[in-house]
Amino acid sequence: MDYDNIEERLLSRLTDIAAAKGLGMSRVLVSFSCGAASAVAAKLAVEEYENVEVIYCDTFAYEHTDNRRFFNDVQGWIGKEITVLKSEQYDDIFDVFSKTGWLVGPAGARCTTELKKKVRQKFQHVDDIHVLGFTAEESKRCNRFQANNPELLTDFILIRKGVTKAMCKRMLTDAGITLPAMYLLGYKNNNCIGCVKGQSGYWNKIRVDFPAAFDRMAKVEREMNVACNKKYVKGVRIPVFLDELDPKAGRYASEPDLSCGVWCGQQ
């Protein structure tokens, strides 16, 4: 993608949409996830665009309680109220697991699909500009996303401006905003406490930091007969349930980021 000309491309597309539908300027829809990158993406979008709407798909129930504080701090920082969207069908992630009988698969997590993706799809307009919090290190992820979602008009504002994950955290700290508690505990992302996409190193860290969350997910795994973790023996995939996970298994620092947003499973 030619990021140097992304602004011209966006404006050209907006003009075409307005002419075809007799509409004014399109809405700029920013997906906020209570993470550092999406917070900075929202800030930059509000500074650059008009008609910006920042949305948060509600998964507060199983996120760290500090996320409500961070949500309010970011709302004040960007100078705009963040719209909270909630599923009309499911109360929380465990309600999704129970009603769908689905925990996690190769395409992502069903909880993300139901609580974020479908909720966002219902709210979005066909001519929205989607501002996403992919950082400068994530150009490959950006390219995959565009290939899988060619119908969406997107502005990867952090990539366009060369903003890295470290820079996002520094910008928040410089603004006087304390980073979310999960970052301060050493987690790479600010997801639900006990993300089903995590692997052995991640879950062993959850076991130490949040033993009740670990035990609850272990029980759900057995009830559903589905394991979040896996290992390979002679090329054969073998499920590893949390209640049999070796406490010394895995190395969280080497595991991939657990992206959890409205775009999970389609990147």
* Integer Cα distance of 253 and 90 in angstroms: 33
Last residue of a domain, one of 151, 181, 211: 181
Domain of 74?
A: 3-181
Last residue of a domain, one of 148, 181, 214: 181
Domain count, the chain: 2
**Is residue 259 in a domain?**
no
Report the pLDDT value the prediction gives residue 191, as an integer from 0 to 100. 87
Inter-residue contact 160 to 140 (CB < 8 Å): no
* Integer Cα distance of 184 and 36 in angstroms: 12
Residue 28 sits in the same domain as residue 145:
yes
Q: What is the CATH number of the domain that holds 79?
A: 3.40.50.620
Q: What is the pLDDT along the chain (267 residues), one digit of tens a residue?
A: 444 454 554 455 455 444 433 444 579 999 999 999 999 999 999 999 989 999 999 999 999 999 999 999 999 999 999 999 999 999 999 999 999 988 887 766 889 889 998 999 999 998 899 999 999 998 888 888 888 888 888 899 999 999 999 999 999 999 999 999 999 999 998 989 999 989 999 999 999 999 999 999 999 999 999 999 988 888 888 899 999 999 999 888 766 666 665 445 444
Task: Determine the number of helices (DSSP H) and then strands (DSSP E) in the chain.
Answer: 12, 9
Residue 32 sits in the same domain as residue 93:
yes
Mean pLDDT computed over every residue of the chain: 86
**Is residue 261 in a domain?**
no
Residue 142 sits in the same domain as residue 20:
yes
Residue 142 sits in the same domain as residue 241:
no
**Is residue 264 in a domain?**
no
Residue 134 sits in the same domain as residue 79:
yes
Report the pLDDT value the prediction gives residue 25, as an integer from 0 to 100. 59
**Is residue 63 in a domain?**
yes
Report the pLDDT value the prediction gives residue 20, as an integer from 0 to 100. 36
Residue 177 sits in the same domain as residue 74:
yes
pTM of the predicted model, to two decimals?
Answer: 0.85
DSSP at 178: P
Residue 154 sits in the same domain as residue 234:
no
Instruction: Count the Cβ atoms, other than its own, within 10 Å of residue 221.
Output: 22
Residue 92 sits in the same domain as residue 169:
yes
Q: Pairing state of beta strands 104-105 and 83-85?
A: unpaired
Report the pLDDT value the prediction gives residue 158, as an integer from 0 to 100. 95
Residue 211 sits in the same domain as residue 175:
no
Residue 244 sits in the same domain as residue 126:
no
Last residue of a domain, one of 154, 181, 208: 181
